């Protein structure tokens, strides 16, 4: 059986990525079958619990307050609203609910307490709970773990070099620090990135170096294809081809054999045949539902029809790791510390981000 390595080099990963497609697919599929059931795919539902108004300048994101993207913002959802959505997701075949809030970082207080109660509520439904809330401190990660969080998502987005061409309001090292804070708990890590933002193949390999050299490697790695949203700095980007997606999935599978490779944003542009190739290449997790935070996604019934056609089964919850226990707020060992961490703000200028911001001022 292939062993998990933590010393992959960019040159090695580029060699894998550029292998002839038939050989690449064979290698990836072989490794996939050594570590996973090839006929089982984990299904998650992504729920935007707080939409829009984000202070960051991520060039791909329609939720950034500085761009004009016609996204309808909403305040933090209630616990009951989230519970209703989780029950709906469970009935349609999802084993995990991923809650996303358009925050730069978590701040102790009433809203975070509300999120902790959402985590407890969903965990008690016997579903895996994931959150993506921005940067978090070690204490905040411990509080999420106590509430019953199964996974925390914090994507690296791209290589450290290309990251500077997409985001200027926070540093790459803050992303790594957040992952490190999560690793100090029993919560699993979900971290991946986006391809199709104008990066080159070396940048894609660089992102996989950053992820694969983490020890342990992330339990889940989302591979997103950019969904170019009008009003964002990346609105003019040409969509990537399915072959690029297949190669990226296969390469990820080879360098991170035990990780669940998540076929994420961009699936609406893929045919069933294209998605089937991604599953063959090692993807074994998807997001279901008609939206991924704010971008379109295939309908659940379409996905279940595709699963039936391909002979795939949704993965049951807590197969990879035992269900965490939820500690009630009153019994919590970790309390709010009112921390004010100094997350970085590089604030270098990215020309296309500045152009989109100025355009938004006129449109607003």
The Cα–Cα gap between 170 and 168 comes to: 6
The Cα–Cα gap between 55 and 352 comes to: 17
The Cα–Cα gap between 62 and 67 comes to: 7
Active site (catalytic) residues: 54, 58, 61, 98, 130, 190, 262
Length of the chain: 364
Taking CA 96 as the corner, what is the angle to CA 90 and CA 98, rounded to the nearest 5 degrees? 115
Query: Which pTM was predicted?
Result: 0.93
| Residue 292, pLDDT above cutoff 50 | no
Q: What is the pLDDT of residues 209-253, one digit of tens each?
A: 999 999 999 999 999 999 878 878 888 889 999 999 999 999 999
Helix 21-35 / helix 272-280 crossing angle, nearest 10 deg: 60
Q: What is the pLDDT of residues 18-64, one digit of tens each?
A: 999 999 999 999 999 999 999 999 999 988 888 877 788 787 888 77
Q: What is the mean pLDDT of residues 253-281?
A: 92
Residues ≥6 apart with Cβ < 8 Å to 254: 16, 27, 28, 31, 282
Q: What is the pLDDT of residues 98-133, one digit of tens each?
A: 999 888 899 999 999 999 999 999 999 999 999 999
| Residue 72, pLDDT above cutoff 60 | yes
């Amino acid at each position: 059986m292939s062993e998990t390595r933590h010393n992959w080099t960019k040159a090695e990963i580029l060699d894998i990525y550029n292998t002839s497609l038939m050989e690449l697919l064979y290698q990836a599929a072989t490794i996939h079958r050594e570590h996973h059931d090839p006929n089982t795919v984990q299904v998650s539902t992504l729920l935007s619990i707080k939409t829009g108004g984000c202070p960051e300048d991520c060039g791909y994101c329609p939720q950034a307050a500085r761009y004009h993207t016609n996204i309808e913002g909403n305040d933090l959802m209630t616990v009951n609203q989230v519970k209703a959505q989780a029950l709906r997701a469970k009935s349609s075949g999802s084993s995990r609910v991923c809650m996303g809030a358009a925050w730069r970082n978590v701040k102790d207080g009433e809203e975070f307490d509300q999120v902790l109660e959402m985590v407890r509520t969903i965990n008690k439904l016997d579903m895996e709970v994931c959150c993506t809330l921005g940067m978090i401190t070690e204490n905040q990660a411990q509080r999420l773990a106590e509430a019953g969080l199964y996974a925390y998502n914090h994507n690296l987005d791209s290589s450290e070099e290309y990251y500077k061409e997409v985001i200027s309001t926070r540093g790459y090292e803050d992303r790594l620090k957040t992952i490190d804070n999560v690793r100090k708990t029993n919560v699993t890590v979900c971290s991946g990135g986006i391809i199709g933002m104008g990066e080159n193949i070396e940048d894609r390999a660089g992102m996989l170096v950053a992820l694969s050299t983490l020890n342990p490697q992330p339990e889940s790695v989302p591979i997103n294809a950019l969904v170019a949203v009008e009003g964002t700095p990346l609105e003019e980007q040409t969509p990537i081809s399915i072959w690029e997606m297949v190669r990226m999935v296969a390469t990820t599978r080879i360098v991170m054999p035990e990780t669940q490779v998540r076929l994420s944003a961009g699936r609406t542009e893929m045919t069933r045949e294209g998605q089937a190739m991604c599953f063959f290449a090692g993807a074994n997790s998807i997001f279901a539902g008609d939206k991924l935070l704010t971008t379109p996604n295939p309908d659940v019934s379409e996905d279940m029809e595709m699963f039936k056609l391909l002979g795939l089964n949704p993965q049951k919850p807590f197969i990879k790791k035992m269900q965490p226990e939820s500690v009630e707020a009153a019994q919590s060992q970790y309390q709010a510390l009112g921390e004010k961490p100094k997350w970085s703000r590089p604030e270098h200028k990215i020309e296309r981000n500045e152009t989109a911001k100025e355009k938004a001022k006129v449109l607003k």
